[in-house]
Amino acid sequence: MQKTMTNKEYQSYVEKKTPNSKTGRNVLRAFLVGGLICVVGQFITNILKMMGYGQEQVSSVVTLIMIFLGALLTGLNIYDDLGRFAGAGSIVPITGFANSIVSPAMEFKSEGYVLGVGARMFVIAGPVLVYGISTSIVAGIIYFLLR
Amino acid sequence: MDNTIMTYVSAFIVGGVICAVGQVLIDKTKLTSARILVLFVSAGAILTALGVYQKLVDIGGAGATIPLTGFGYNLVTGTFKEVDKLGVLGAFTGGVKAAAAGIAAAIFFGYLMSVAFTPKAKR
């Protein structure tokens, strides 16, 4: 029966199938890479805890190290290659936040150190801070009123 | 020792699932990565305020704190702690205080790396 399919039918069949399997592949890659980046974070967390640091110090130092790594790997042109493979798996972790700062800043260095590097650093990080901090302030005020 | 291995397994699964959700949003809604990041910070902050995200952090450890939703979690837990101490002023000081290390590191390391390195030639 398969052979009686016309070219057109086959094409629409392919079109129906491919987007799904492509999404499936992308999601699997995002899961694997995102999961692995978090395992690295957990590894640093476990080591710091073993060294006897308190909970708050640990979370600050882990964030610091992960951001350093994300920024360094972006500078070395490794993180963007990872991003092409992993999609959201490399965008969503905090290393991706560092990537979103370094990548445009490096790109626009030719426009100078103030409006090139200094301003472009915040093309994505700026909105993240605006919405993150504003949401936390609203949540804090509501918490204060309901307390 | 078994406990240590379990922390890696749950960090992998929780972190992986959060990133997979991001990928589904990118593929199905065509949201840009900037919007995904903004969405994830805000979602993390709101879920923390509702008391949901703490459970995810208890289970997933770094799997819940390393994704950008964890940045929102950090902001709101800091805010609530400071509101308990200082009242309404804490709503303005607590979040940034708790996230200070991350914000300062992102600005400083981000700047250093941007100045030190140049992007690969366009392909």
Clarify whether residues A79 and A122 are in a common domain: no
Given a cut of 60, whether residue A27 has pLDDT beyond it is yes
Measured CA to CA, the distance from residue B54 to residue B72 in angstroms comes to 11
Total tally of structural domains belonging to chain A: 2
Question: Does any domain span residue A2?
Answer: no
Smallest CA-to-CA distance from B22 within B6, B38, B1 is with: B38
Show which of residues 78-97 on chain B sit within 8 Å of chain A, judged by CB atoms.
78-80, 82-84, 87-88, 90-92, 94-96
Q: What is the DSSP string of A4-30?
A: G--HHHHHHHHHHHHHHHHHHHHHHHH
Q: What residues are paired with B67 via a beta bridge?
A: A93
Clarify whether residues A83 and A132 are in a common domain: no
Show which of residues 24-63 on chain B sit within 8 Å of chain A, judged by CB atoms.
24-28, 33-34, 36-38, 40-42, 45-46, 48-49, 60-63
Clarify whether residues A22 and A66 are in a common domain: yes
Clarify whether residues A41 and A84 are in a common domain: yes
Clarify whether residues A47 and A73 are in a common domain: yes
pLDDT-derived band at B122, boundaries 50, 70, 90: low
Domain region containing A63: 7-101
Task: Parse chain B into domains and list their residue ranges.
Answer: 2-116
Smallest CA-to-CA distance from B104 within A27, A67, A51 is with: A67
Whole-model pTM: value is: 0.90
User: pLDDT tens digits for B4-63?
Assistant: 999 999 999 999 999 999 999 999 998 898 999 999 999 999 999 999 999 999 999 999
User: How high is the pLDDT of residue A20?
Assistant: 65
B14-39 as b/e: b if 16+ CB within 10 A = bbbbbbbbbbebbbeeebebbebbbb
What does the DSSP 8-state code read for residue B121? Answer: P
A99 interface with B at CB cutoff 8 Å: no
Say which residues have a Cβ less than 8 Å from residue A64's Cβ, sequence separation at least 6.
B101, B102, B105
Q: Between these two residues, A147 and A121, which has the higher pLDDT value? A: A121
Q: What residues are paired with A93 via a beta bridge?
A: B67
Question: Does any domain span residue A1?
Answer: no
* B113/A74 touch (CB, cutoff 8 Å), yes or no: yes
